[in-house]
Amino acid sequence: MTGRDVFPIGTRKSALAIAQTVQVQSALEHQYPTKTFPLLPMSTTGDNVQGQPLSSIGTTAVFTRELETALETQECHLLVHSLKDVPTQVKPGFVIAAMMKREEPNDVMVMRQGEFKAIKDFGEGDVIGTSSVRRASQIRRLCPGVTVKDVRGNVNTRLAKLDASDSPYTCLLLAAAGLQRLNFDHRITATLPPSVMLHAVGQGSIAVECRTDDKEILEMVKSLDHLPTRLRCEAERSVMRILEGGCSVPIGVWTEFVSPSEKEQTESVATLLLRASVSSLDGTEIAEAQAVADVNGSVEQAIELGRQVASQLLSKGADKILEKVLRDRHASLVPTGTNEEQKIKGWEV
Ligand SMILES: NCc1[nH]cc(CCC(=O)O)c1CC(=O)O
């Protein structure tokens, strides 16, 4: 027998990152029982700068850069990320070899245990905890008068901040998938449907990144790729790539496979619906677009659908909204952090 049989997996150290990586590890071990896939946990810039809002330290690449260095130097052979945190332009020499079957992509509202208030009743006096400009902008639009307050840290830390007796927050907005992977399903007060909030590009799918020249591992990881998820997420990433060239901005999306004949909501990969919106930070302006295409299982067609929706958004004024968002972002930046951290500006999505 030829080939290696130990393939370290690079990951961040947060509980969520480890849970996601263990999921990939189990799938690979099941498929390749004679090989082992040990975890190699690493710290990233995003993890090390917990003290300040993400809006002041960088793009989502802050969570992937250090990991890619380890992949490059062959300390590990694959990386596991939340797809949401992977920039739309993957660095040359690297590839997203698998997008794992997507879980619920929706955002959810989390209140303190036992408390409930319908999101439509939120207004003056309510404090919404989120560090995402996308969530902030959409919630301000939906519930004029609410206060949005930054909340940093990993999922566990955020829940602890919500639950604290001196908590300033009425509720948190989080991704359903993150809570589910950490077995915090019971903390979900309400799941937000697309009529209320469009989720982040790629939210809810786990990405496996490899080197393009590592044919052996590419071949192995390919088996984890889930075609319906791949098509939906490629379409979503295509919108974002065109609108912004890879950084994170307040773009919300929704995708689903629709069947020409009403009844069958099948696992079909034929006809894909994509909705997207770009909204201003204060929630007063929005550009929305939607299209349906017969992608018939083709990634290229899914990417084309994303391009179509992106150009609709642009013709509806998304470029003006984005320009203003970028101007405000630069104006509001306080020059903190190291030079390296200041080079990359952006937001959590
Ligand atoms: N921003 C951090 C992050 N990256 C991925 C997830 C959730 C898991 C996923 O989207 O797949 C989260 C937490 C959150 O947004 O609530």
Low-confidence winner among 98-112, 156-170, 256-270 (lowest mean pLDDT)? 256-270
Q: What is the Å distance from ligand 1's center to 102 Cα?
A: 13
Amino acid sitting at position 65? R
pLDDT of amino acid 328: 76
Residue 327 predicted with pLDDT over 70: yes
**From the CB of 234, is ligand 1 less than 6 Å away?**
no
Identity (one letter) of the amino acid at 259? Answer: S
Please determine, for residue 283, whether its predicted confidence score (pLDDT) is greater than 70: yes
Nearest CA to 25 among 35, 16, 13? 35
Q: Residue 39: enclosing H or E segment and its boundaries?
A: strand 39-42
Which residue among 131, 180, 203 has the greatest number of ligand 1 atoms within 8 angstroms of its CB, and so is best to mutate?
A: 203
How many CB atoms sit inside 10 A of residue 240's CB? Answer: 25
Residue 86 clears pLDDT 80, i.e. is over it: yes
pLDDT in tens, 136-192: 999 999 999 999 999 988 899 999 999 999 999 999 999 999 999 999 999 999 999
Question: Does the Cβ of 306 fall within 6 Å of ligand 1?
Answer: no
pLDDT at 58 over 90: no
d(C-alpha 234, C-alpha 301), whole Å: 9
Size of the chain in residues: 349
As given in the structure block, the two tokens for residue 302 are 């899914």
The closest-lying atom of ligand 1 relative to the alpha carbon of residue 60 is: 1
Q: How confident is residue 341, by pLDDT bands cut at 50, 70 and 90?
A: very low
124: pLDDT confidence band, cut at 50, 70 and 90? very high
Residue 56 reports pLDDT greater than 60: no
Q: Is 82 in the pocket of ligand 1 (CB under 6 A)?
A: yes
179 Cα: distance to centroid of ligand 1 (angstroms): 9
**Order of strands across the sheet with 39-42?**
39-42, 9-12, 78-82, 206-211, 94-99
Does 84 contact ligand 1 (Cβ within 6 A)?
yes
Q: Separation of 207 CA from ligand 1 center, angstroms?
A: 12
| Prediction pTM value | 0.90
> Shortest CA distance to 209 belongs to which of 85, 304, 108, 97?
97
Ligand 1 mean position, distance from CA 82 (Å):
7
**Which residue, 131, 106, 109, 107, is CA-closest to 122?**
109
Question: What are 25-40's pLDDT values in tens digits?
Answer: 999 999 999 999 999 9
Per-residue pLDDT, 259 = 78
Which H/E stretch holds residue 15? helix 15-31
Read off the amino acid at residue 68: E
Residue of the CA atom closest to atom 1 of ligand 1: 348
Q: Which protein residue has the closest C-alpha to ligand 1 atom 6?
A: 178
Range 109-113 average pLDDT: 95
Nearest CA to ligand 1 atom 10: 203
20 lines ligand 1 (CB under 6 A): no
**Ligand 1 centre distance from Cα of residue 256 (Å):** 20
C-alpha 338 to ligand 1 mean position (Å) = 25
pLDDT at 60: 53
- pLDDT given for residue 325 in this prediction: 83
User: Catalytic residue positions?
Assistant: 84-85, 134-135, 152, 158, 247
The Å distance, Cα 264 to ligand 1 centre, comes to: 31
Residue 105 Cα: closest atom of ligand 1 = 10
If one compares 59 and 285, the residue with the highest pLDDT of the two is 285
**pLDDT class of 118 with cuts at 50, 70, 90:** very high
What percent of the chain lies above the pLDDT cut of 90?
75
Ranking 14-18, 58-62, 330-334 by mean pLDDT, the lowest is: 330-334
CA angle 190, 194, 196 (to 5 degrees): 60
The answer to whether the CB of 85 is under 6 A from ligand 1 is: yes
What's the ipTM? 0.97
**339 CA to centre of own chain:** 26
CB of 174 shorter than 6 A to ligand 1: yes
Check pocket membership of 129 for ligand 1, CB cut-off 6 A: no
In the block, tokens 């993890």 appear at 47
pLDDT reading at 247 higher than 60 = no
pLDDT, the chain, mean:
88
For the chain, which domains are there? 1-99+204-225 (3.40.190.10), 107-191 (3.40.190.10), 227-340 (3.30.160.40)
